[in-house]
Amino acid sequence: MALISIFPSSALHFNSHSFNFNAPKHIIRPVLARISSQNDQTSTSNGSATKQNNSFPGKPEADVIVIGSGIGGLCCAGLLARYKQDVILFESHDAPGGAAHSFEIKDYKFDSGPSLFSGFQSRGPQANPLAQVLDALGESVPCASYDSWMVYLPEGEFLSRIGPTEFLKDLEKYVSLDAVQEWRKLLDTVLPMSAAAMALPPLSIRGDLGVLSTAAARYAPSLLKSFIQMGPQGALGATKLLRPFSEIVDSIGLKNPFVRNWVDLLCFLLAGVKSNGTLSAEMVYMFAEWYKPGCKLEYPLHGTGAVVDALVRGMQKFGGRLSLNTHVENIVVENGRAIGVKLRNGQFVRAKKAVVSNASMWDTLKLLPKDVAPKLYQDRIEKTPQCESFMHLHLGFDAEGIRDDLGIHHIVVNDWDRGVDADQNVVLISVPSVLSKDLAPPGKHVLHAYTPGTEPYGLWEGLDRRSSEYKQLKAERSEVMWKAVEKALGSGFSREKCEVKMVGTPLTHQRFLRRNRGTYGPAIEAGKGTFPGHATTIPQLYCCGDSTFPGIGVPAVAASGAIVANSLVSVSEHSQLLDAIGI
């Protein structure tokens, strides 16, 4: 997928999530609806302390209320403001961004989540969803580009490069000619499908029959052209886009163990499941971004917080309101319809058109009054399997003794046989100060390492975060990340010399990101289930984010937010926006 947030939302996976500390100093807050009292501090249901507004600034109503300022919520609110809707976004945290927010400790600026991106600079119909939303808001994010990351595998360690030929050279040198032949076969099968997978711009989709006008009819010629270019065999393959990617891999007879493991790794980082559960369309999109001529990876200068800042700026300049430190206690339903929200301080804020929840499906259900949602709806949510959680390691340290050619990204796989989804087996490492020097004091580095959605919540459930048992488990379970960091940074790195050391657990994840059980998101496997749509069984209540179609990851949640926003305006307004941004 374009704009994959793998190193974690995360994580190709990439929603990744961490702790919520102090907001970065560069965050834009000029028109934010903020707290009027600094004394009304309450504890959230998951144990974190927030300061709650005593009174909500401005009129206590809006056309649309959005709950949660993750990437999905920000994209939804920003586009609604662009559509001239009166929109207000409520965020419990003191900084916007959700799993993608940034925080600052001792002049070190840390990313809490996604750190591997591509497609930021793309434009037009085939641009990634986040790039299209930013374009619609008249915002951009300056980026540094690069084309490789280090991998440390049981077969050895090497610099893995993207592009149509470079990875083939790596395979020949470090694996085998058989692996080269199979990888080339996979590219020859998958890349022709990308035209079909990318034929409908994400921003053209809406959740009603109006999609026949904004997407189907508008882009029918380009879709038809893509099928003609693919030929009969390619067009037949494109029918598998909504099936598990493993079916494509199996159909062309790929058997090389490394190639199969590598594909599973990419799938897991992208969607939180291996190739037998990842939608083919997602992988085809990602392959088109990473293995075509001239492709590059990108890192936003000033960190992932710069992405959040750009979305906030875009929303605000069109009149959207953001209220931080404002906890929504519950969604108010009257006569069977969602009509607003009740804040923790007891204040009611009315939504004239809709309430949109950017919380997970499980957390959204908790916001609803009892017995309002149909039992079938509740049962489906409660039975939906969850991805596991994360361990995080955030470090600030002196660059002295660290090699000058250190890359931004590193991935460590300890044992292929255990599977990429096994706990304590895969560690992702990001050192963004390599490309964005302002994230650390002069001569220093910031680092974020994490286990991508594989840490069992059950190991931590019920532990007191102040207990010796919790601290001991924290030390034990973080050791795999420390060892991975030492492998990636070399002998010049010393744990003892780190000026900032922070370990996050599933309880940290749950506490600060308000994620049910600290989960990465729904573990919905392609072919066995589908992500829910954006409308709910309750009129005027919509959902966006990783619990809805298209699923987990930065591109997916950006698309989900856009789809909801488009669905709340007329087909005419939607079409005018597409015309305005040239897609």
Least confident of 194-203, 309-318, 320-329: 194-203
Q: What pLDDT band is residue 58 in, cutting at 50, 70 and 90?
A: confident
What confidence score (pLDDT) does residue 50 get? 38
What confidence score (pLDDT) does residue 3 get? Answer: 37
The predicted model gives 149-156 an average pLDDT of 90
State the pTM of this model: 0.87
Of all helices (H) and strands (E), which one includes residue 74?
A: helix 71-82
> What pLDDT score was predicted for residue 228?
60
* 261-306 residue pLDDT tens: 999 998 888 777 899 988 888 888 888 878 777 788 899 999 999 9
Residue 564 has pLDDT above 60, yes or no: yes
Residue range 85-112: average pLDDT? Answer: 94
pLDDT, one tens digit per residue, over 35-50 is: 223 333 333 333 333 3
CATH number corresponding to 61-141+302-383+528-581 = 3.50.50.60
241-268 in b/e burial notation, b at 16+ Cβ within 10 A?
beebbbebbeeeebebebbbbbbbbbbb
Q: Which of 190-204, 304-318, 494-508, 549-563 has the lowest mean pLDDT?
A: 190-204
More confident residue, 184 or 192: 184
Confidence of residue 113 (pLDDT cuts 50, 70, 90): confident
Q: Is the pLDDT of residue 54 over 60?
A: no
Q: What is the pLDDT of residue 12?
A: 36
What DSSP letter does each residue of 456-480 carry, written as one string?
Answer: -GGGTTT--TTSHHHHHHHHHHHHH
Average pLDDT, the chain: 85
Q: What is the DSSP string of 99-156?
A: GG-EEEETTEEEE-S---B--TT--STTS-HHHHHHHHTT----EEEE-EEEEEETTE
Task: Say what the alpha-carbon torsion angle 531, 263, 516, 14 is, to the nearest 10 degrees.
Answer: -100
Q: Provide the residue ranges of all domains of the chain, joining segments of one domain with +.
A: 61-141+302-383+528-581, 178-288, 389-517
Residue 254: per-residue pLDDT = 93
User: Range with the lowest mean pLDDT among 58-72, 208-222, 229-243, 386-400?
Assistant: 229-243
Q: What is the mean pLDDT of residues 341-351?
A: 95
Q: For residue 197, what pLDDT band results from cuts at 50, 70 and 90?
A: low
**Nearest partner of 190 among 259, 135, 143, 134, judged by Cα:** 259
